[in-house]
Chains A and B, each alone.
Chain A
Amino acid sequence: QKEVEQNSGPLSVPEGAIASLNCTYSDRGSQSFFWYRQYSGKSPELIMFIYSNGDKEDGRFTAQLNKASQYVSLLIRDSQPSDSATYLCAVRWSYQLTFGKGTKLSVIP
């Protein structure tokens, strides 16, 4: 059974702070890792993905991957109220994406 675990939150951070979202996965054979953002009532949109151990930065977002620990995280720097959403971690095995339940983030002005 391939599982992706996330803390459901809500995670509340003040505007301008760093938000840290975490995800663990069960299968060491997983190939790549994704973060999607989903606003309430909307569909998921891809923020970024990462293949290799280490960090990957895109603007205010940094994805971190540690395959030995089976852990992936998303850091959001200078958090804005518009970042308030549910963040879904997804892990790819073969051609299939398995999603976590998501972490709800609230950025407080």
Chain B
Amino acid sequence: EAGVVQSPRYKIIEKKQPVAFWCNPISGHNTLYWYLQNLGQGPELLIRYENEEAVDDSQLPKDRFSAERLKGVDSTLKIQPAELGDSAVYLCASSLGGERSYNEQFFGPGTRLTVL
């Protein structure tokens, strides 16, 4: 079974430029999460999707960040414009959905963003 796929793995951009990250969850996983992980910190939730609905986006900085999961499968996270402080690893995770399966989140390899 393929795991969570993310691309690109690395991205270097100049500040004020836009950037987009893509995630393909494990097949059959209805719940998709985007996390941000800074160096030396644990992952912090940005947004959670149940199918195509964003059910928790309270931590997403909506002035510059946006996300979509149009068909309830793949998801894209966008930053526009990027700031120096956005340099971090962006992790996508997925889970089956339902009460117990929320416990088991599987992470993708992440996208390491560097903003110069």
- Bound CA–CA A49/B91 (angstroms): 20
Q: Select the stretch in A12-20, A60-68, A76-84, A88-96 that faces chain B.
A: A88-96
- B37-68: CB near A (< 8 Å → 1, else 0) gives 00011111100100000011000000000000
Give the interface residue-count category, chain A.
20 to 34
With A42-B109, A43-B110, A95-B48 as contacts: A101 and B103 at CB distance below 8 Å? no
What is the distance, in angstroms, from B97's C-beta to the closest C-beta of chain A? 10
Chain A residues near B40: list those with CB within 8 A: 8, 101-102
Contacts of B109 in A (CB 8 A): 42-43
Contacts known (A34-B103, A45-B107, A49-B103); A96 close to B56, Cβ less than 8 A: yes
* Best-buried of A44, A49, A92, A99 by chain B (most CB within 10 Å): A44
A4 at the interface (CB under 8 A from B): yes
Complex contacts, A49 vs chain B, CB 8 Å: 103-104
Q: A43-B91, A92-B102 are in contact. Are A97 and B45 (CB under 8 A)?
A: yes
Among A43, A95, A99, contact of B56 (Cβ-Cβ < 8 Å): A95
A32 to B100, CA, bound (A): 10
User: A43 touching B108 by the CB < 8 A rule?
Assistant: yes
Counting from the closest, the 3 A-B pairs by CB-CB distance are A99-B42, A43-B107, A43-B110
Count of chain B residues with Cβ under 8 Å from any Cβ of A?
19
CA distance A102 to B103 in the complex (A): 19
| B76 CB-CB contact with A under 8 Å | no
8 Å CB contacts to B: which residues of A26-53?
32, 34, 42-46, 49
The answer for the CA separation of A107 and B87 in the assembled complex, in Å, is 30
A43-B107, A44-B43, A90-B42 are known; give 11 further A-B pairs, CB within 8 A: A34-B103, A42-B109, A43-B109, A45-B107, A88-B42, A92-B103, A96-B48, A96-B56, A99-B42, A101-B41, A101-B42
Shortest beta-carbon distance from B106 to chain A in Å: 7
| Chain A residue nearest to B41 in the complex (CB) | A101
Nearest A residue to B4, CB-CB = A43
26 CB < 8 A contacts A-B: A4-B42, A8-B40, A32-B103, A34-B103, A42-B109, A43-B91, A43-B107, A43-B108, A44-B43, A44-B91, A46-B104, A46-B106, A49-B103, A49-B104, A88-B43, A95-B55, A95-B102, A96-B56, A97-B45, A99-B42, A99-B43, A99-B44, A100-B42, A101-B40, A102-B41, A102-B42
